[in-house]
Amino acid sequence: MQSLNARYLLCPLPVIRVQDRVKLMQQGEVLEVVCTDPGTVHDIPAWCRINGHRVIESKYVDEEYTFTLEVGSRFADEP
């Protein structure tokens, strides 16, 4: 599992960091990202839904939001 620290970044920067990391990963790999911006609760799952990745787990502990994502297929809906 890979991990990414997106603490103290405000949206959409956490999403951008996740997006840039996922680009370097393979389908099926797992990424754990830790954020502090409450906006990530909406944005990271939304970004995953539209780009075909899966949020396996999300939790909120000590004012930190942790999302565990599984990378989906990049080419799923291309023509």
Partner 1 sequence: MPVKPKAVALISGGLDSMLAARVVQQQGVHVEGINFFTGFCVEGHTHAIRKRDQARPKRNNALWVAEQLGIKLHIIDIIEEYKKVVINPKHGYGANLNPCLDCKIFMVGKAREWIAENDFDFIVTGEVIGQRPMSQRKDTMPVVARESGAEDRLLRPLCAKNLPPTLPEREGWVQRDQLFDFSGRSRKPQMALAEQFGFEDYAQPAGGCCFLTDRNYSAKLQDLWQARGTRDYELDDIMLLKVGRHIRPRPNFKMIIAREEGETRFLQGYRKSFIHMHPVSHRGPLVLIDGTPDADDLLLAARLTARYSQGRDAERVEVSVVRNGVSESLSVAPISSQEMPDEWHI
Tell whether residue 73 is a contact of partner 1 (CB under 8 A): no
Least spacing, CB of residue 34 vs partner 1, in Å: 15
Tell whether residue 71 is a contact of partner 1 (CB under 8 A): no
Angstrom distances, CA of residue 73 to CA of 27, 40, 49, 50, 64 = 5, 22, 12, 12, 28
Pick one of 19, 58, 66, 68: the residue that binds partner 1 (CB under 8 A).
19
Binding footprint of partner 1, residue count (CB under 8 A): 23
- Our CA dihedral for 79, 21, 30, 59, rounded to 10 degrees, sits at -110
Helices (H) and strands (E) in the chain, counts: 2, 4
Catalytic residue at 11? yes
In the set 11, 34, 41, 55, the catalytic residue is 11
Catalytic residue set: 11
